[in-house]
Amino acid sequence: MTDRFWRFDAGARVPRWLVETVDCTVVFNWSAIVIERDAEWQMFPTEPVRKGRPPFLLRPATERHRGAAIPTRKFVLSYEVYSDRFDAVA
């Protein structure tokens, strides 16, 4: 299977094919490259990010709901910058 690549800016809404949501909206906390490889998502920042900083932010639909986000596949998260790798493929 061929790897597929997507690039997202910080603040962009996370698509439902990546993370399923319940009573909330999920946005990227930092600019990222998402790679679909086999049966998992691999995620890399496009610029330096402090280790431990979450890749997504949840915005509940209302103050009464907490919301939930469920990944559609296994996630492999890295804090190493891979912007040059993405540019070479694109």
List, for residues 43-58, the tens digit of each pLDDT value: 999 999 999 999 999 9
List, for residues 3-21, the tens digit of each pLDDT value: 899 999 999 999 999 999 9
Q: How far apart are the first and last CA of the chain?
A: 18
| Number of domains composing the chain | 1
Parent domain of 37:
4-89
Proportion of the chain above pLDDT 70, given as a percent: 90
Amino acid identity, position 2:
T
pLDDT reported for residue 88: 45
How far is it, in rounded angstroms, from Cα 17 to Cα 68? 15
